[in-house]
A and B are shown apart, each in its own frame.
Chain A
Amino acid sequence: MTIQQFLPLLIFTLTIAIIITEKVNRSIVAVAGGVLMLVTGMQFGFYTQEQALKSIDFNTIGLLLGMMILVVMLQQTGFFEYVAILMAKKSKGNTWHLLVILGSVTTVLSMFLDNVTTVILIAPVTVVIAQILGINPLPFLISEAILSNTGGAATLIGDPPNIIIGSMAGFTFMDFIINLMPVVLITWVCTLFFLKYIFRKSFAKKSGRIDALLKMDAGAALKDRKTLTKLIIVLFLTIMLFFFHHLLHFKPSLVAFIGVAIAFLWINPDINKILKEIEWGVLLFFVFLFIGVGGLESSGMLEAVGKWLATLASSNMLLLCIIFIWGSAIMSACVDNIPFTMAMVPIILNIGNSGINTDPLWWALALGVGFGGNGTPIGATANIVVMAIAEKNRTPITFKMWMKVGLPIMILNCLVASLVFIAIFLIKY
């Protein structure tokens, strides 16, 4: 290994390692890591500023920003509380029905809106509902995070790894629906019943104050009905555009911003109020991770890995896919799934350069990364959000508690995915 290959590997590994320890804010680490990678690369001759700029996938950034804006506008109307309460009342206090309802709401929303924000907004209302009913909120919080992680893997816009994969591999919104929705749906249902089994003791307890739940006024949670109506229409149009964006040759980020532009013009909101709520730290995190991975790629490290894996891909694609599912899941559970996905992209692209059809590998990566997020409390940002809310509520979730639920589910999810892959390969070949 030359110094030009060792240094980028060292810098990138260090960046990821510090991010995992959570001792420093991840955006700060990403910016520092990216900048260090570029400056070192320029010094040692393995990375240029032009390459760094090229490595930033603005389609991903644009899509993230566009959807963030729409979600913030939606949140300011009280939409999430409104839907959660409206749907929760239909459970009539039955704890199992409540879980299915709240879990479904979170999942459907997180398939089209940002996973993390959806959980951030549904979790507090979940705590309120649980506490008023006199039942433990933890099973609901954990389930919401897990179900939204699992469900979010089904669509192009459902979770950031999919956005990255879609953008770099050139998959359309429909490609994701056709290839991933079926397997995710099956997995989701299995996960739901597994959760019913794991939390069976909690669900056996009857909630005491069903009357208090039924008295909740969903309409009172709705702060701005007029704006919400307009936003729902804009979102509906945007999602329709997503379904057909490949026919129009519109990149997903453009679709998102068409929605934003229409929403802005129609609603004429207070821009500063919206911009204040945007998570700029997350966007910085993405931009500078792209730069960091770019350094790894331009040093040739990832190309080498790709070439090495290509031999296995051509001899036994199914085996490599299974390895990808489980390997990605484990990595995604331990390491942040964004940099891992970003690093895998050039590797898979390089495998494709040898003429191999890499489609199955992309799907395996998407599923593995998506499902792996359930395994540990740090596996997905949605999990971290849930842990934080549980902590604030003085009913904390311990690492052990999470793993008891999340790890079996991660294994279950990967198992289902593997079986589906095996079935498809047997049928196709």
Chain B
Amino acid sequence: MILKTCMKKNVFYIQEDATINQAIDIFTANKVGTLPVLDKEKKVIGVFYITDILKIFLPSFIEFIDNIDFIKDFGALSFDENKIRMINDINIKEIMEKSPVVVDEECELMRALSLMKKHNITDLIIVNNENRLLGIASQVDIATRLLDLLRGNLIDNKEGLSL
């Protein structure tokens, strides 16, 4: 089975010249976490995750200390006004991820899930051969479809059903 059968076609996206505030509006209004970034020709040039914004707020020591289990209370780091103010000055183009992992709609489910595991992403962007946005599929979307098919295969004992 291929991605075409389980991807969402109504994708939330954002333009490259948008601000972080605009991105936050889309994230919070629609409860999504991944926004493909499009250029003026509507081609996918990057991807912007909600966690990219959060990275600005998370304390920097997370990157250089191994074990943070001992911190029970983040104290003065819990709410830092300066960081909130910082986001107004940043364009998403500066902190988005360029060259995101994209696949076409004929992509097999197994391959899709493997790519997501390897690249550590939760949503996979689907494009056509001109790199224009066709859809998006989350790990849950793909995995549930795959599990359904596997289970169906076992019950009906159909052999040779290609996935």
Q: Which residues of A contact B (CB under 8 A)?
A: 78, 81, 85, 124-125, 127-128, 131-134, 207-209, 211-213, 215-221, 223, 389, 392-394
A-B contact pairs, 11 of them (CB 8 A): A127-B60, A128-B68, A131-B61, A131-B77, A207-B76, A209-B73, A212-B74, A215-B73, A217-B69, A219-B70, A221-B70
Chain A residues contacting B63 (CB-CB under 8 Å) are 392
Query: Is B70 a contact partner of A218 (Cβ separation < 8 A)?
Result: yes
Query: Is B74 a contact partner of A221 (Cβ separation < 8 A)?
Result: no
Instruction: Give the number of chain B interface residues (Cβ < 8 Å).
Output: 17
Closest to A214 in B: B73
The majority secondary structure among interface residues of chain B is: loop
Chain B residues contacting A393 (CB-CB under 8 Å) are 60-61, 64
Query: Is B77 a contact partner of A217 (Cβ separation < 8 A)?
Result: no
Q: Is B72 an interface residue (CB 8 A)?
A: yes
Q: Which residues of B contact A (CB under 8 A)?
A: 59-61, 63-65, 67-77
Query: Is A221 a contact partner of B67 (Cβ separation < 8 A)?
Result: yes
Chain A residues contacting B73 (CB-CB under 8 Å) are 132, 209, 211-212, 215-216
Query: Is B77 a contact partner of A132 (Cβ separation < 8 A)?
Result: yes
In the assembled complex, the Cα of A211 lies from the Cα of B75 at a distance in Å of 8
Query: Is B70 a contact partner of A217 (Cβ separation < 8 A)?
Result: yes
The majority secondary structure among interface residues of chain A is: helix
Query: Is B60 a contact partner of A215 (Cβ separation < 8 A)?
Result: no
In the assembled complex, the Cα of A213 lies from the Cα of B71 at a distance in Å of 8
Chain B residues contacting A219 (CB-CB under 8 Å) are 70
Chain B residues contacting A208 (CB-CB under 8 Å) are 75-76
Query: Is A127 a contact partner of B75 (Cβ separation < 8 A)?
Result: no
Known A132-B77, A212-B74, A212-B76; contact A394-B60, beta-carbon cutoff 8 A = yes
Known A216-B71, A220-B69; contact A134-B76, beta-carbon cutoff 8 A = yes
In the assembled complex, the Cα of A220 lies from the Cα of B60 at a distance in Å of 20
Chain B residues contacting A217 (CB-CB under 8 Å) are 69-70, 72
Query: Is A125 a contact partner of B65 (Cβ separation < 8 A)?
Result: yes
Known A124-B61, A131-B61; contact A223-B67, beta-carbon cutoff 8 A = yes
Distance (whole angstroms) from the CB of A119 to the closest CB of chain B: 13
Chain B residues contacting A209 (CB-CB under 8 Å) are 73, 75-76
Chain B residues contacting A134 (CB-CB under 8 Å) are 75-77
Chain B residues contacting A127 (CB-CB under 8 Å) are 60-61, 65
Closest to A128 in B: B61
Chain A residues contacting B71 (CB-CB under 8 Å) are 128, 132, 216
Distance (whole angstroms) from the CB of A128 to the closest CB of chain B: 5
In the assembled complex, the Cα of A78 lies from the Cα of B66 at a distance in Å of 9
In the assembled complex, the Cα of A131 lies from the Cα of B80 at a distance in Å of 11
Chain A residues contacting B59 (CB-CB under 8 Å) are 128, 131
In the assembled complex, the Cα of A127 lies from the Cα of B64 at a distance in Å of 10
Chain A residues contacting B60 (CB-CB under 8 Å) are 127, 392-394
Distance (whole angstroms) from the CB of B83 to the closest CB of chain A: 11
Other A-B pairs, 12, CB within 8 Å; known A207-B76, A392-B64? A127-B60, A127-B65, A128-B68, A131-B61, A132-B75, A132-B77, A209-B73, A209-B75, A213-B75, A216-B73, A217-B72, A389-B64
